[in-house]
């Protein structure tokens, strides 16, 4: 799957994150680094160190990512994520979605909104509301009780089951405040949904 991905539309953006001239070694192709990050999430690899070891041992996976010879150290993967940052990941998402929309793989005529809680890598503070090592995490209701972490609010195309827009917020914030930002993100991508489906938590008179 990784080897067949067409990431040409984001190659220019990823390359722009690096210095094109001057002294220094030629950077490892950033598209390959991004594919490795996709592999990390798909295979649920817990760390960059484990990812580096996996690619070193599995040449087939390394070639699928685009690493023909030496595979990157775990430090290079960490540097790439920091270089890309939150805004960079969202830009990559937007460029890939634009490609899918132009190709007709995604229509977005019927959109479903939903949210899912993600646990923070932190213990709870003494106030039992915030994170001890992650000050932005909050305690909120998940599918199976209360969790410390964040909630990802998503808008998905029901036809293709692909993600169209998302936003991440502390777990304690009410879902009602995120329906408008999600719909605005859809509009900015040129998606005018005919029908929007959502749980009652997203419903309010202001929405």
Contact 33, 20 (CB under 8 A): no
Give the 3-state secondary structure of the chain: CHHHCCCHHHHHHHHCCCCCCCCCCCCCCHHHHHHHHHHHHHCCCCCHHHHHHHHHHCHHHHHHHCCCCCCCCHHHHHHHHHHHHHHHHHHHHHHHHHHHHHHCCCCCCEEEEEEEEEECCCCECCCCCEECCCCCCEEEEECCEEEEEEEEEEEEECCCCCEEEEEEEECCCCHHHHHHHHHHHHHHCCCCCCEEEECHHHCCCCC
CA distances from 174 to 68, 78, 115, 119, 203 (A): 47, 33, 11, 17, 11
The residues spanned by each domain of the chain are 2-103, 110-202
Residues whose CB falls within 8 Å of the CB of residue 97, separated by 6 or more in sequence, listed in order: 106, 164, 189
Q: Of the candidates 7, 70, 69, which has an alpha carbon nearest to the alpha carbon of residue 37? A: 7
* Residue 186 confidence class, pLDDT cut points 50, 70, 90: very high
Specify the pLDDT at position 143.
Answer: 82
Distance, CA of 169 to CA of 144 (rounded, Å):
19
Contact 140, 168 (CB under 8 A): no
Mean per-residue pLDDT for 7-35?
79
Specify the pLDDT at position 50.
Answer: 96
Whole-prediction pTM value? 0.77
Rounded to 5 degrees, what angle do the CA atoms 152, 75, 151 make? 10
Q: What is the mean pLDDT of the chain?
A: 89
* Residue 205 confidence class, pLDDT cut points 50, 70, 90: low
Specify the pLDDT at position 20.
Answer: 60
Contact 112, 155 (CB under 8 A): yes
158: burial class by Cβ within 10 Å (0-12, 13-18, 19+)? Answer: middle
The 10s digit of each residue's pLDDT in 95-127 is 989 888 888 888 899 999 999 999 998 999 999
The 10s digit of each residue's pLDDT in 25-57 is 667 889 999 999 999 998 999 999 999 999 999
Specify the pLDDT at position 115.
Answer: 92
Mean per-residue pLDDT for 88-100?
90
The 10s digit of each residue's pLDDT in 77-86 is 999 999 999 8
β-strands 110-119, 195-198 pairing: parallel
């Amino acid at each position: 799957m990784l080897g067949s991905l067409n990431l040409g539309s984001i190659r220019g953006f990823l390359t722009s994150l690096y210095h094109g001239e001057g002294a220094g070694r030629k950077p490892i192709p950033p598209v390959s680094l991004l594919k490795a990050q996709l592999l990390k999430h798909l295979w649920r690899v817990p760390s960059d160190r484990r990812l580096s070891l996996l690619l070193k041992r599995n040449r087939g996976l390394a070639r699928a990512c685009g690493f023909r010879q030496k595979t990157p150290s775990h430090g290079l993967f960490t540097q790439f994520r920091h270089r890309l940052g939150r805004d960079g990941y969202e830009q990559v998402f937007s460029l890939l979605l634009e490609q899918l929309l132009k190709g007709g793989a995604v229509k977005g005529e019927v959109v479903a909104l939903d949210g899912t809680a993600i646990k923070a890598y932190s213990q709870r503070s003494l106030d039992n509301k915030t994170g001890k090592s992650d000050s932005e995490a909050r305690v909120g209701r998940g599918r199976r009780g209360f969790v410390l972490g964040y909630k990802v609010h998503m808008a998905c195309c029901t036809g293709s089951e692909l993600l169209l827009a998302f936003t991440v917020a502390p777990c304690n914030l009410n879902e009602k405040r995120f329906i408008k930002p999600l719909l605005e993100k859809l509009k900015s991508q040129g998606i005018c949904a005919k029908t929007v489906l959502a749980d009652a938590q997203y419903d309010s008179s202001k929405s």
